[in-house]
Amino acid sequence: MSKKILILTASPIRDLEIDDILGRKLKAMGNEVWVAPCLREGRDKVLELQPDIVVVPPIRNMYSRDLVAQMKRWGCKVITRHTEPSCDQADFDAMDAKEKSSVLGQVQYDVDLELVWGPEEADILNRRNAPFKAISVGSFSADKYKDDAAKELCISREALNEKHKLNPKQKTILILSAWGFIDSAPDLHIDSTGMVSKDESGRKIWLDMIKAVHDEFPRNNILVTLHPNVDAKPYKEYLDPLGISLDTELRAMELVRSCDMMIHAGSTTVIGAHFLKKPAFQYGDQNVKEGEWWSRAASPISHVSPHAKTIDELLSLIRKRKLGRSNADKKALEALVKGRYGLMDGKATDRAAELINEFEGQFKYCWPEPTEDYQQITYVRKASSVLTEVMCGICKHKYAIVNDSWLKKLQIHLNLPNEIKAPFGDFCPWCSSRIIRT
């Protein structure tokens, strides 16, 4: 039976390509499918399209929790798809209580299914005793590198060369920026945190490395790309005089496809380079940050590529490169499959689509949950707002006590000058016992 399925995308820059692949596979099952941005547009799209099933990003705050609750009141089945890998068991065991709450969910929410990447994360979440299951489907990010239709949407090497005036007879080194907070949020600079000063020094180190690579390998094209939302101005000011191209438009996936090797600082894009059989080299480590469980130095993501701590080490690694093959560490990849990432076979969206397609929802209009309290003195939402039910410890009959708070509201409603003092008794209305135990 055909279903109406709406996929709400968390970040069009990062997640849209995966949601498009997932949507295409759900369409192939005979469903009517739409993909739309979640932030700001999500609620409107649900009302406009009236879907039976809605796929949403992870529930991380009260707004997304309330949005999901409303969709369920409308009869939709709601499935949350994790957009990034999370923790493995070793990560979780090393966390403090606050960090664990960020993984388990800082707000309580109710969905019909939670799709996560790694099997250990699914096991951790399923110990919450939530009314829904978390199921591991593998690494969604692997699918965009292994899906044939996704490949066809990427820019060709010829078009990339023309776009940036790269020499088609030379090999291209792609360099990914590492530090971004200082540029992406200039209005949020708080020097007391130390983040800005670290970003400034880190960016200078990174730019010096780019110049060193450019000077050492004049017979290679150098192409630099930035993390989403990073201000390009500081980079352009430094790179333009060197004649180095900066790309601020294309997705990292496209750039990796059309380049020959990659330099990064612990980027997860290194997994894509491995899939595409291209060498990648790590300079520095953006993943090691104080106070963040994701960023422990032992994390496998920081050990996938050969790691250079100095520019000279990096240049030496590049000289010894072997093009056309991955140089990823097999043990680090195996650890990611077992832990944070799950299976990286390019079939995560297949498994997700099968699970989503099992649900049957039915959109229906219903009166929205009120945001105001319309209770009155004689018409109340719940009897407990007027009465508190207790039990006599002697005869075991239940009876009710009128709440003082309701009497106070009655006094105000009747415009009485004095507080109502009811002649409360101290005996059970059933057996008249004066010793009442609740």
In contact, 215 and 312? CB cutoff 8 Å: no
Average pLDDT, the chain: 87
Check whether 324 has a pLDDT greater than 80. Answer: yes
What is the reported pLDDT for 149?
Answer: 85
Check whether 198 has a pLDDT greater than 80. Answer: no
What is the reported pLDDT for 258?
Answer: 94
What is the bridge-based pairing of β-strands 398-402 and 387-391?
antiparallel
What is the reported pLDDT for 290?
Answer: 52
Average pLDDT over residues 174-196: 53
What is the reported pLDDT for 421?
Answer: 76
What does the pLDDT look like over 385-421, one tens digit per residue? 899 999 988 899 999 988 988 888 888 888 888 888 7
Higher per-residue confidence, 177 vs 181: 177
Beta bridge partners of 36: 8
pLDDT above 70: percentage of residues in the chain = 89
Average pLDDT over residues 203-218: 93
What is the reported pLDDT for 179?
Answer: 58
Check whether 48 has a pLDDT greater than 90. Answer: yes
Check whether 383 has a pLDDT greater than 60. Answer: yes
What is the reported pLDDT for 192?
Answer: 38
Pair of tokens at residue 104: 């388990």
Quick one: how far is CA 396 from the chain centroid? 52
What does the pLDDT look like over 138-151, one tens digit per residue? 999 999 998 888 88
Check whether 438 has a pLDDT greater than 80. Answer: no
What is the reported pLDDT for 142?
Answer: 93
Average pLDDT over residues 24-50: 94
Which H helix or E strand runs over 135?
Answer: strand 133-136
Buried b vs exposed e over 155-180: b needs ≥16 C-beta within 10 Å? beeeebbeebebeeeeebbbbbbbbb
CA–CA distance, 261 with 283 (Å, rounded to integer): 14
What is the reported pLDDT for 322?
Answer: 86
Phi first, then psi: give them for residue 218, nearest 5 degrees: -65, -15
CATH no., domain 156-333: 3.40.50.2000
Average pLDDT over residues 249-275: 90
Check whether 49 has a pLDDT greater than 50. Answer: yes
3-state secondary structure (DSSP) of residue 4: strand
What is the reported pLDDT for 423?
Answer: 66
Distances (CA, A) of 64 to 91, 122, 129, 220, 399: 26, 21, 21, 47, 41
CA–CA distance, 280 with 180 (Å, rounded to integer): 21
Give the residue extent of every domain in the chain.
4-143+350-357, 156-333, 373-438
What does the pLDDT look like over 66-118, one tens digit per residue? 999 999 999 999 999 999 888 889 889 888 888 888 888 888 999 999 999 99
User: Is it true that 4-143+350-357 and 156-333 share their CATH fold?
Assistant: yes
Q: Which pLDDT band, with edges at 50, 70 and 90, does 182 fall under?
A: very low
Please choose, from the candidates 253, 304, 298, 263, the residue with its C-alpha nearest in 3D space to the C-alpha of residue 140: 253
What is the reported pLDDT for 375?
Answer: 85
What does the pLDDT look like over 228-243, one tens digit per residue? 666 788 899 999 999 9
Pair of tokens at residue 2: 């055909």
Structurally, at CATH architecture level, domain 4-143+350-357 sits in: 3-Layer(aba) Sandwich (3.40)
CA–CA distance, 177 with 204 (Å, rounded to integer): 11
What is the reported pLDDT for 96?
Answer: 85
Q: Which pLDDT band, with edges at 50, 70 and 90, does 185 fall under?
A: very low
Lowest mean pLDDT among 127-131, 151-155, 197-201: 197-201
First vs last C-alpha separation in the chain:
55
Query: pTM here?
Result: 0.75
